[in-house]
Amino acid sequence: MLLAIDCGNTNTVFSVWDGERFLCTLRTSTHHGRTADAYFTWFSTLMKHYGIEAEINDVIISSTVPRVVFNLRIFADRFFGCRPLVVGRPDCLLPHDPRVDEGTRPGPDRLANAAGAFDRHGGDVVVVDFGTATNFDVVAADGAYVGGVIAPGVNLSLEALHSGAAALPHVDISQPDKVIGTNTVECIQSGVFWGYIGLITGIIDRIKAEYGRPMKVISTGGLAPLFQQGEDLFDRFEDDLTMHGLTVIHRYNKENGVI
Ligand SMILES: Nc1ncnc2c1ncn2[C@@H]1O[C@H](COP(=O)(O)OP(=O)(O)OP(=O)(O)O)[C@@H](O)[C@H]1O
Ligand SMILES: CC(C)(CO)[C@@H](O)C(=O)NCCC(=O)O
Ligand SMILES: [K+]
């Protein structure tokens, strides 16, 4: 079985894939100091808790935080006896090579999103991924990742207001009923929520205009549903898109004899 690890700047997600479906999805915060032993203690405890018996013999990692890969490699080697595939490294093949400026290293989560979106929908897709950053990943007709947009994430924007302005409290995101807030919290929520609606709409419209062909818009990431409510921004929401992309990349490497 395959263990797919999606390590973001805020959270790290482990999913076990049996070849047809995900048996479980486990989430922890990202810490570069976490050791291989600590990962295994956490992972095996939760697997036992959910009554899942999985014989893992392959591991694939997408990490937007380079430093955590060291301990995750030891984790894969020590507990599952395998050399993990690390997306973005030269020895991990991609079904379609990205077309970006020379020297650019697209985030592995974006490469996984592109592989997952192409597998499910074919090309001419834009993926909107709501993580620490909000990124828009454009997948061409032939499946290549061809770039996109990186914007500050929702929680990062809220945090920036709180840390940069002495009188502004920490606020959680929610959808305000109206735009004109009548207290500080409502004003912040309005700014970030409606500002974000404008950002998403504006960027998607501009991407479509520049791209010049009809495109599908797929959203992913924990906060995507919040922006879908009552708005017609995305064609689909697919929570497991990055993980699905990792299984696609793993399968491609297996078929091509890399592992
Ligand atoms: N309705 C909500 N209100 C507030 N926070 C939410 C809500 N829904 C999800 N979240 C949080 O939003 C964050 C976004 O989730 P997601 O897993 O997509 O990105 P992340 O893990 O934070 O980012 P990264 O992948 O860059 O580490 C998570 O921390 C999640 O707990
Ligand atoms: C944009 C993020 C932070 C989104 O997780 C990640 O994909 C990343 O670190 N990317 C590297 C730069 C790039 O994608 O062009
Ligand atoms: K993510």
Confidence label for 97 from pLDDT (cuts 50, 70 and 90): very high
Q: What domains appear along the chain, each with residue ranges and CATH number?
A: 2-86 (3.30.420.40), 108-244 (3.30.420.40)
CA of 113 to the centre of ligand 2 (A): 12
Predicted confidence (pLDDT) per residue in 36-46, tens digit: 999 999 999 99
Query: Which contacts (CB < 8 Å, 24+ apart) does range 252-257 have?
Result: 252/93, 252/94, 252/95, 252/115, 253/85, 253/92, 253/93, 254/58, 256/93
Closest ligand 1 atom to residue 220 Cα is 18
The structure's pTM equals 0.96
Catalytic center residues = 109
Quote the mean pLDDT of the chain: 97
- For residue 29, give the ligand nearest its CA: 1
Q: Select from 161, 151, 213, 219 the least CA-distant residue to 185.
A: 161
At 184 the pLDDT is: 98
Model confidence over 104-119: pLDDT tens digits? 999 999 999 999 999 9
Q: What percent of the chain has pLDDT over 70?
A: 100
Q: Is 91 helix (H, G, I), strand (E, B) or coil?
A: coil
DSSP 194-238: HHHHHHHHHHHHHHHHHH-S--EEEEESTTHHHHHTT----SEE-
The protein residue with its alpha carbon nearest to ligand 1, atom 24, reads 8
CA distances from 203 to 62, 100, 136, 184, 247 (A): 26, 19, 9, 28, 29
Interior CA angle at 200 toward 192 and 240, to 5°?
Answer: 100
Q: Which residues pair with 6 in a beta bridge?
A: 13, 62
Give residue ranges with CB within 6 A of ligand 1: 8-11, 130-132, 172-173, 221-223, 226
pLDDT over threshold 90, residue 206: yes
Q: Give me the pLDDT at residue 18, please.
A: 98
Residue 21 pLDDT > 80: yes
Measured from the alpha carbon of residue 134, the closest ligand is 2
The C-alpha angle with vertex 77 and arms to 71 and 83, in degrees rounded to 5, equals: 100
- H helix or E strand, kind and range, residue 61: strand 58-63
pLDDT digits (tens, 9 = 90+) for 207-225: 999 999 999 999 999 999 9
Q: Could you give the residue ranges of the DSSP H alpha helices within the chain? A: 36-49, 68-80, 108-121, 154-164, 184-211, 224-228, 241-255
Residue 59: phi and psi, rounded to 5, are -135, 135
